[in-house]
Amino acid sequence: MINTFKKFVKDESGATAIEYGLIAALVSVAGIAALTTMGGSLKSMFEYVGTILSGAVSGGTTI
């Protein structure tokens, strides 16, 4: 019984998965923070591209 407990305590195979999970969570939080910060400029850029594409489809030029 004591040997089984010692093996359990020394086993670190699950620690790597937890570390990768924590790294993934940190990366996702950083990504969300970056996109939130850049949200206004991204919205403006996509609206501009949408306007240009609408003009291209309707045959007009809007540059």
Range 30-34 average pLDDT: 94
Closest CA relative to residue 22, chosen from 14, 11, 12, 33? 14
pTM of the model: 0.49
Domains of the chain by residue range: 15-58
pLDDT reported for residue 60? 59
Alpha helices in 1-63 (DSSP H): 2-10, 13-37, 39-58
pLDDT reported for residue 61? 57
- Predicted confidence (pLDDT) at residue 44 exceeds the cutoff of 80: yes
CA-CA distance, 57 to 39, in Å (whole number)?
27
pLDDT reported for residue 62? 56
